[in-house]
Amino acid sequence: MDVYGLLLRLIIFMQQLIYLFTDLIQLVLLKIKLVADLLSIRIHPKSAQDIKIPSHISFNIYENEISLDKIVNVLLWSHEIGIPVASISDVKGNLFKLRQNFENKLKEEAVFNVVEPVSGNVCIYRLSGYDNGRSTDLLVCLQTPRFGLQCLCDAIQHTCHFQKKITDVELAEAVQSISSLPDVEMTVNFGDCSSLFGMLPWQGRCAEFLDFPSHWHLKKPDFTRLLVRFGQIKQRWGR
């Protein structure tokens, strides 16, 4: 009996070892890809002029732990560079649960106010500031992982109240009316996977997806390089 127990423990240990080895391989491959991308870009003084500013940037976090300080930093950089709208969500939904702490962090770093309080799966803030004497704003859309799915359900529920057979144009208008925000143009995925969680389902056709290993390690030069990469991507079909 002891022999069988020992054999079972050995099998479980080997299985866990295989899982750990697989995760390490995936992390190494992701870092190699990132380093290759960064080495292919030569940042020079003119690069700031070549940066393409997305009208709506999305940050999706596929990590178990989140850093409020790091998240606030990336939003401040987005505001500083002139991005008008930023959406952010994490796969665990921790950020939305910690939104009070998130708001307190924003208060410490910037002037902000709540545009739309918590409503279902989203909360919208506005960061305000000045650039060369002119007022600048950044809308911050804090979302749960179910935001996109809920919006799609709302659109379907809305169309069900129509008294007549709807056309494809009316359906498109109903879908577009559920959000006044512009389509996402650039999505940054933090972690070792990628999906459309937190986004409106149809926005995948418009967004360019860029990867970064962890939001814990993102620094301002890294963020600048991501924007440069976004500007260098050839416009694909669907955008």
Which residue stretches of the chain are H helix? 2-39, 47-50, 68-81, 94-97, 99-109, 147-159, 168-176, 220-232
User: Are 143 and 89 a contacting pair, CB within 8 Å?
Assistant: yes
pLDDT confidence bin for 111, thresholds 50/70/90: confident
Measured at the CA of 34, the angle between CA 85 and CA 231, to 5 degrees, comes to: 40
CA–CA dist 153, 135 (Å, integer): 36
Q: What is the pLDDT of residue 132?
A: 57
Report the pLDDT value the prediction gives residue 115, as an integer from 0 to 100: 67
Distance, CA of 226 to CA of 41 (rounded, Å): 10
Q: Give the pLDDT confidence score for residue 45 in this predicted structure.
A: 41
Give the pTM.
Answer: 0.70
Domain ranges of the chain: 41-232
Intra-chain end-to-end CA distance of the chain, in Å: 64
As a whole number, mean pLDDT of residues 179-200 equals: 79
Q: What is the fold, at CATH topology level, of the domain defined by 41-232?
A: Undecaprenyl pyrophosphate synthetase (3.40.1180)
Contact 209, 59 (CB under 8 A): no
Q: How far apart are CA 186 and CA 56, in angstroms?
A: 7
In terms of Cα–Cα distance, which of 93, 71, 46 is closest to 231?
46
The least confident of 71-80, 103-112, 162-171 is 162-171
pLDDT tens digit string along 14-54? 777 777 777 777 766 666 655 555 554 444 444 455 678 99
DSSP track, 114-164: EEEEEETTEEEEEEEEEETTEEEEEEEEEE-TTHHHHHHHHHHHHHTT-SS
